[in-house]
């Protein structure tokens, strides 16, 4: 089901109908099936975090599942993030202010070894997340902006402060677009960015789907 020529706003409004159809197409895609099969085979050989980092394809699959595919060349930083303890407020993963990395660190528990990485539960999580990511990418390739809109909708209920937005590039892009703020705001201090967003968005309303919907539609217009 091609969506060429359909606006991102129209696609967003029709997501309930489109999602199951497009996810089924992703699941049947030979490239997707090959990546998942490769992950399940090669992860069995991993003995430590370095083995994961040294296997480019394996690492690529894991990172893509968490929206971090562009970080593939930051192996030193990735290692430090993965082996840091997400339960420690002072650990690198919490100081990095990037929820994508934190989600990966929490799910992988690499600070405690690689047993979680090699588990069937983690494999299922990678497959589910990768399906979602590629579904979003397939829509975004035809209707730019829809991927950001979907991610914002999914994560909005967890937004409690400006820093929850600023720590996630996708949430930040939607917030800036919806409020008409320029991308150059990122050159300000995090505190200054936060104060600016507080003037444009009502952070007490992100639990309200209708408010979230208005923000997203403003972004897509």
Residue 166: exposure state from Cβ atoms within 10 A (0-12, 13-18, ≥19): buried
Q: What is the reported pLDDT for 152? A: 96
pLDDT at 4 over 80: no
Domain 8-142 CATH superfamily: AGR C 984p-like (1.10.3700.10)
Closest CA to 160 of 149, 171, 176, 150: 171
pLDDT at 2 over 60: no
pLDDT at 146 over 90: yes
Closest CA to 197 of 213, 217, 209, 180: 180
Q: Over the stretch 100-110, which tens digit does the pLDDT of each residue have?
A: 899 999 999 99
Q: What is the reported pLDDT for 99? A: 82
DSSP letter at 129 equals H
Q: Which of 38-42, 45-49, 51-55, 90-94 has the least mean pLDDT?
A: 90-94
Q: What is the reported pLDDT for 96? A: 85
Return d(Cα 62, Cα 113) in angstroms, integer: 16
What is the model's pTM?
A: 0.83
Q: Which helix (H) or strand (E) holds 157?
A: none
Closest CA to 149 of 177, 128, 109: 177
Q: Over the stretch 11-26, which tens digit does the pLDDT of each residue have?
A: 999 999 999 999 999 9
Closest CA to 126 of 67, 167, 71: 67
Q: Over the stretch 172-203, which tens digit does the pLDDT of each residue have?
A: 999 999 999 998 998 999 999 999 999 999 99
Q: Over the chain, what is the mean pLDDT?
A: 93
Q: What is the reported pLDDT for 170? A: 87
pLDDT at 97 over 80: no
Domain boundaries defined on the chain? 8-142, 146-220
């Amino acid at each position: 089901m091609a969506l060429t020529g359909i606006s991102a706003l129209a696609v967003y409004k029709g997501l309930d109908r489109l999602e199951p159809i497009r996810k089924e197409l992703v699941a049947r895609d030979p490239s997707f099936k090959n990546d998942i099969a490769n992950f399940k085979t090669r992860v069995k050989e991993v003995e430590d975090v370095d083995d994961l980092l040294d296997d480019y394809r394996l690492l690529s699959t894991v990172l893509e599942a968490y929206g971090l595919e562009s970080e593939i060349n930051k192996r030193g930083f990735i290692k430090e993030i993965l082996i840091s303890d997400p339960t420690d407020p002072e650990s690198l993963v919490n100081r990095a202010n990037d929820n994508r990395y934190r989600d990966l660190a929490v799910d992988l528990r690499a600070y405690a070894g690689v047993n979680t990485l090699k588990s069937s539960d983690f494999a299922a999580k990678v497959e589910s997340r990768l399906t979602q990511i590629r579904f979003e990418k397939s829509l975004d390739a035809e209707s730019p902006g829809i991927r950001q809109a979907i991610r914002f909708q999914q994560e909005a209920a967890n937004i409690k402060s400006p820093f929850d937005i600023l720590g996630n590039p996708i949430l930040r892009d939607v917030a800036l677009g919806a409020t008409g703020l320029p991308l150059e705001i990122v050159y300000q201090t995090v505190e200054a960015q936060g104060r600016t967003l507080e003037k444009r968005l009502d952070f007490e309303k992100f639990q309200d789907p209708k408010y979230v919907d208005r923000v997203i539609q403003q972004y897509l217009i």
